[in-house]
Chains A and B, each alone.
Chain A
Amino acid sequence: MYTSSDLRKGLKIEIDGDPYIITNFEFSKPGKGQALYRCRLKNMVSGNAFDKTYRSSEKFKKAPLDERKMQFLYNQGEDYHFMDTKSFEQYIISRDQLDDVTNFMVDNMEVDVLLFHDNPIGVTLPNFVNLTVTKSDPWVKGDTSGTDTKPVTVETGFELQVPPFVVEGDKIQIDTRTGTYITRVKE
């Protein structure tokens, strides 16, 4: 249990059966008035946010969240299958919940899965992943368009800008937080 004075940015609490994270926090206390804890709360499942002001006497349930290492096995249509690397238990997460994560996830990749009451609600990728370039237009020497990058597509279907020397079949490192090219990887 938390009380109002524990509230701060980043704290995760459970409200009406959903996990929420405090994304904005301000302590206020008008002169001679009572302490007010002004929060912006984001639903960690739906992403919806709302503002709420609490008084000092309120109590909050800690959101029962658990992060576990899992291996991405495969996807079948909209369903993505993962396996807990310790218990070997399997979990299915829908594409909707994964969002941008699918841009960088390939079979057998190890990821962190966030569980709420044992239900997976989110996946965190490693900051850097290595993916194979599957489609790349040859770079024309003497191209005067002025750009020093060109677009390529990687094995997940994600498209990004890379330096002109990258060719089809190369493995490249990508920053999953920004979706940008880092370097070419030799294997």
Chain B
Amino acid sequence: MNVHRLQQRAAIIQAARFFFGARGYLEVETPIRLPALIPEANILPLSSASWFLQTSPELCMKRLLAVGVPRLFQICKCFRDHERGRRHLPEFTMLEWYCLDGTYLDLMTETQALLQALAEKFKDEVGFDGEVVRLLLELDWQRLTVHDAFARHAPISVDQALADDCFDEILVEYVEPKLGIERPCFLYAYPVSLGSLAKTSRQYPELAERFELYIHGVELANGFSELTDPAEQRRRFVKETELGRNKGVSFGVLPEKFLKDLVKIEAACGIALGMDRLVMLLTGAKDIDEVVSFTPEDL
């Protein structure tokens, strides 16, 4: 633990709140203990009595969109079992925001605005990473498709990687370390199979309207145009539940109330940003342990 980093963390979170407040976003708190989760085969939930701790606040936040909150954000704890490393904690802090009618392209613009507002605020303060601040203040952020990123940096194409079941390995080994080095990079247009809650592109039905933001090779945020077709969403949930079951993971029953509310949303977009990683990035911390009060090992 590092008290100065905790002070910086508090200042960053406060500045983020101010940014969203000024843009008319409503700050919300939704329950973190849920009877049904989003089934995602690669995310292991932690159970709490017969319910679960949330792996993200996505379900409840989209239900708030459905009942008429047009713009909302939340800063909350999320839980994912067995995730521990230099950039992972099983309990971590997420910043998520959603708005009606926008697309993932609008979100890219807004994410850039948020990070540039933070960079501008902290650029002259002691203890913030000057190089990162300069990078964030670059005017022209890169937008690179997954297809082009593989073509540029990986030994095989994205289609080949998917066919050989090694997309994640190639991405981590060859592609990610090259992203967001000269300027921040939005990696976008993911294959549909890698965006369970993202809307399919109308123009290219094999692609999802999803992006990840990379800075200095680190993945910071994941956003997409929300899939709002309940029938399609149910099909994807059933498929992910099946994949999870093969790995021995249970997500509880399907989130039926969410699927019911989804009918009321015509179009929306949303994004999740790792708050601990944002603090790491701005303060130059090399390990997530440096930016939280206590790690599981400290307890």
On A, residues with C-beta under 8 Å from B are 5, 26-36, 38, 53, 56-57
Between A30, A32, A35, the greatest number of chain B beta carbons within 10 A of the residue's beta carbon is seen for: A32
Interface string of B196-210 (1 = CB under 8 A from A): 100000000000000
**A5–B82 contact, CB under 8 A?**
yes
On B, residues with C-beta under 8 Å from A are 40, 42, 82-88, 167-169, 171-173, 176, 194-196, 212, 219, 222, 247
**B171–A27 contact, CB under 8 A?**
no
DSSP majority for the A interface?
loop
Name the CB-closest residue of B to A28. B172
Give 15 A-B pairs besides A27-B86, A30-B219 with Cβ atoms closer than 8 angstroms. A26-B86, A27-B83, A27-B88, A29-B85, A30-B176, A30-B212, A31-B212, A31-B219, A31-B222, A32-B42, A33-B42, A33-B167, A35-B83, A38-B172, A57-B247
In angstroms, Cα B133 to Cα A135, docked, is: 61
In angstroms, Cα B176 to Cα A36, docked, is: 14
Determine the chain B residues whose CB is within 8 A of the CB of A36 once the complex forms.
Answer: 168-169, 172
In angstroms, Cα B197 to Cα A32, docked, is: 10
**A26–B85 contact, CB under 8 A?**
yes
**B194–A33 contact, CB under 8 A?**
yes
Determine the chain A residues whose CB is within 8 A of the CB of B195 once the complex forms.
Answer: 32
Rounded to whole Å, the gap between the CB of B3 and the closest CB of chain A is: 27
Rounded to whole Å, the gap between the CB of B188 and the closest CB of chain A is: 12
**A30–B168 contact, CB under 8 A?**
yes
Name the CB-closest residue of A to B193. A32
**B86–A29 contact, CB under 8 A?**
no
